[in-house]
Chains A and B, each alone.
Chain A
Amino acid sequence: MFSNVQPRQAAAQLLNFGLILSTAFMMWKGLSVITDSPSPIVVVLSGSMEPAFQRGDLLFLTNRNILQETDVGEIVVYNVKDKDIPIVHRIVRKFGSGAGAKFLTKGDNNVADDTELFPPGKAFLDRTDMIGSVVGYIPFVGYVTIMLSEHPWLKTVMLAIMGLVVVLQRE
């Protein structure tokens, strides 16, 4: 097979494979820009919001306040500084409004609010700490990513299979 392949042919095949990956990536970035959130789709990783969200559920976020400001009762996603796992909890207190508003969050399934989770000296969240507010929900679909992250070898296997299939099929 490789003896007959000319350089342009190989380049075209490689291009097809590359375009699939890059289109998927650009669509993700496009959604990111539209919602103004670095991660517009997240998978629920913990059970702190049960029974509303279970592990493996998919959440759609938006970070734009189009109709009104972020309010008490909304479910927001935020990162605690230096910890890379985002937390998905509900806002239970809001003091003030606008850019200087202070927020306190709590998981539905938790007894205590999130004060313990914040870094020392930080008693409340600012609006800029939040990377999005939940607007949509699909159950179970995200469990695949949980499996992929807990068994990283799966990721390599999947990508390898995808790559092989596309390059060998030329469709």
Chain B
Amino acid sequence: MAVSQEKITLYNLADLKNTSDDAIPNYLNSLGFKQSHHLTDVRLGLGYTALALAGACFLWDYKLGFENTKYYTAAAVLLYSVLNGLLTVWIMFVEKGVIYTGTSKSGDTVKIATSTKKNVPQYNLTITTTSKSGKSETIAVSRPFTEWFDAAGHFVALPFQTMLATSIPAVGRLDPQRAQAGQDEKMAAYTPEMLAALVQENSSVARATAETSTTGADTGKKTKQRRKA
């Protein structure tokens, strides 16, 4: 079982989410999905353009002084705010938490967005699968982080991959092993009917033993009394 060497702080929700987010591309790419970096690239492009602009502004202000360059600086400040605004809009409304977009060899496109709510250790995934024919379906999955992190803070790959394989049919198709492991797990767990049967069995056994022990105690007392008298 692949247990990662690095430990993370289990109480740090951001770390939990980030480690899980990082594992998804690793897993899916290993199955043959081709990752699309379009969203990241646009974000990096916008961001680094803004950075470059700030750097240029710093340089010309440093070399030529404030008075000579103040109109350029004013323009730069305006442009920088516009770029930053665009970046924020991009992250908030277009990216919207998407951490992986990929296409399988069979033509299915999978888009995974993750989120966490403050102080709640649940990993919320929203998976949008678009098949080759254009049909798209959205699946929402919410699992506690405890399923794939051990008590010491190590990330355990198997249950994580199983979770993905069983929840996302497109992934399950490509990784039948994990999908099967998921089913087996389901079989191993106690079903409600089994639990009820177990309870009944236990209670009838308990009643039987209780009866025998009480009668035994009674006879014991009686014999004791008789003996005394």
Q: Which residues of A contact B (CB under 8 A)?
A: 1, 4, 6, 8-9, 11-12, 15, 18-19, 22-23, 25-26, 29-30, 32-33, 36, 38, 169-171
Q: Does B18 contact A (CB under 8 A)?
A: yes
Q: Does B201 contact A (CB under 8 A)?
A: no
Among B26, B44, B48, B70, contact of A36 (Cβ-Cβ < 8 Å)? B70
**A1-B6, A29-B57 known; A22+B14 contact, CB < 8 A:** no
Q: How far is the CA of A26 from the CA of B80 in the complex (A)?
A: 8
A12–B76 touching, CB < 8 Å: no
7 A–B pairs (Cβ distance < 8 Å), ordered by A: A9-B22, A18-B47, A22-B50, A25-B58, A26-B54, A26-B76, A33-B74
Please name all residues of chain A whose beta carbon is closer than 8 Å to the beta carbon of B73 when the two chains form the complex: 29, 32-33
B44–A29 touching, CB < 8 Å: no
B18–A15 touching, CB < 8 Å: no
* B36: min CB distance to chain A, Å: 12
Main secondary structure of the interface of B (DSSP, over half): helix
B14–A169 touching, CB < 8 Å: yes
B77–A29 touching, CB < 8 Å: yes
Q: How far is the CA of A38 from the CA of B22 in the complex (A)?
A: 45
Please name all residues of chain A whose beta carbon is closer than 8 Å to the beta carbon of B77 when the two chains form the complex: 26, 29-30, 33
A170–B70 touching, CB < 8 Å: no
Please name all residues of chain B whose beta carbon is closer than 8 Å to the beta carbon of A29 when the two chains form the complex: 57, 61, 73, 76-77
Q: Does B43 contact A (CB under 8 A)?
A: yes
The 8 A-B pairs with the shortest beta carbon distances in the complex, nearest first, are A22-B54, A38-B66, A30-B77, A33-B74, A15-B47, A26-B80, A18-B51, A171-B14
Q: How far is the CA of A22 from the CA of B14 in the complex (A)?
A: 24
Q: How far is the CA of A157 from the CA of B12 in the complex (A)?
A: 26
